[in-house]
A and B are shown apart, each in its own frame.
Chain A
Amino acid sequence: MSIKNISKFTLILFVFLSINSFANTNETHEENIESTTIVDEKASLKKEIKETIDHHLMDSYDFAITHGVSFPLPVILIDGGLHIFSSSKLTNHDTHEPTIVESNGNYYKLFHGKIYKTDAAGTINLDEHHHATNEKPFDISITKNVFTIILMSLFLFFLFKGMAKKYKTNSLPKGAGRFLEPIVLFVRDEIAIPNIGEKHYKKYMNYLLTIFFFIWFLNLAGMTPFGIGVTNNIAVTFSLAMLTFLITQFTGKKTYWLHLFDPLGHSMPWVAKIPLYLLLVPIEILGLFVKPFSLMIRLYANMTAGHVVLMSIIGLIFVFKNIIASTAFPVLTLALSALELLVAALQAYIFTMLSALYFGTAAEEHH
């Protein structure tokens, strides 16, 4: 089927869908008695979909494989000593209600996905916005995201370690190396060398390759049905952006700092520079912090937006509840999932590329 036919097909589907939804609204207008219950149902359904999406994007204390099947991870709290217990104690196995956990004389309870310190009865004090005012222990638990990061790091380590070993005996790649060698070369030839320069790129290659594959593989892991959206977590993207920022600052040469605090150089006498620099230097310093901030927001927002769109489209099936919606939306979801696979690689590429660009300004020498 050509692209033109596909677009025609989708257009027809959309027209049918909109007619169907119009028909639904007309019915509700005619039957006044039923309309209130239908509106209530729709509102509660929308709320449920929203909650499901929020839950999907959130980090959790146990690792859910499918609905209802999960394995517990360790909870580690620092609160006047170390408290370690299994996350299976946090919820009741049958009712899925949070239970009170006793650990070395302290009591903890789960409330909206976070662990709070409570008394023996497990009371959670709420303020007027329904936020808990209980004390929060310092939480360094191995959550789902942490677990995935550790697992993925080990996977990448052994994968590339094995690949590197094979190159010692034979210069031709084998197995996974056949697929990954062009990508490694792409990072070197298309990202590192053009942006950093022939002379200094080697120093940055290990970091660039690490973040490229780390972000890419974690983005791909987010597309699995386990709901492990590690790059949906702003703390993760913050750490990644922070690493780029720190490496840029610590490898910055004389030209880099001169460019920051003396951007005009010898082009004009110093008297004329003073009023200009009152404006220019603060902007340059602001730009210094905007760069990692935009790196952090871009990755986080792109991955979150992708997941929210996918989940919302799946949710629409339950809003429309007719045969056309339930055939068209899965197809649309499949298409968008394919697009998400592209975005997963593209975001890893852009993050690596911009990092290389910033390293390039740091490593630049006066010429």
Chain B
Amino acid sequence: MTIPNIVGAGLIVIGAGLGIGKIGGSAMEAMARQPEAAGKIQTAMLIAAALIEGIGFAALFAA
């Protein structure tokens, strides 16, 4: 592993972490506002997080 690769991997992790964190935070807020819709929100949250994660992993493999 060379230094640009490591820096790239770090940037990817920062980006993916920010993205998933934002989704998780928003989902928590939404669940607190509407606890009766918690199931649906959780499903949507998991799908969105999985999509970001997929792109993050694809980029990690490229780095």
Interface membership of A282, Cβ < 8 A: no
Q: Do B43 and A194 touch (CB < 8 A)? A: yes
Residues A350 and B43 in contact in the complex (CB < 8 Å), given A294-B58, A297-B57? no
Q: Do A350 and B61 touch (CB < 8 A)? A: no
Q: Do B46 and A353 touch (CB < 8 A)? A: yes
Q: Name A71-115 residues within 8 Å CB distance of B.
A: none
* Distance of A194 Cα from B40 Cα, bound (Å): 9
Interface membership of B55, Cβ < 8 A: yes
The 8 Å CB contact of B61, one of A190, A297, A302, is A297
Q: Name B38-63 residues within 8 Å CB distance of A.
A: 39, 43, 46-47, 50-51, 53-55, 57-58, 60-61
Q: How large is the interface on B (under 10, 10 to 19, 20 to 34, 35 or more residues)?
A: 10 to 19
Top 4 A-B pairs ranked by shortest CB distance? A294-B54, A301-B57, A298-B54, A350-B50
Q: How many A-B contacts are there with CB distance less than 8 Å?
A: 33
Residues A301 and B43 in contact in the complex (CB < 8 Å), given A294-B54, A350-B50, A354-B50? no
* Distance of A295 Cα from B60 Cα, bound (Å): 15
Question: Chain B: residues with CB nearer than 8 A to chain A?
Answer: 39, 43, 46-47, 50-51, 53-55, 57-58, 60-61
Output the nearest chain B residue to A305 by Cβ-Cβ distance: B57
Question: Chain A: residues with CB nearer than 8 A to chain B?
Answer: 190, 194, 293-295, 297-298, 301-302, 349-350, 353-354, 357
Q: Do A294 and B47 touch (CB < 8 A)? A: no
Q: Do A190 and B43 touch (CB < 8 A)? A: yes
Output the nearest chain A residue to B55 by Cβ-Cβ distance: A294
Output the nearest chain B residue to A298 by Cβ-Cβ distance: B54
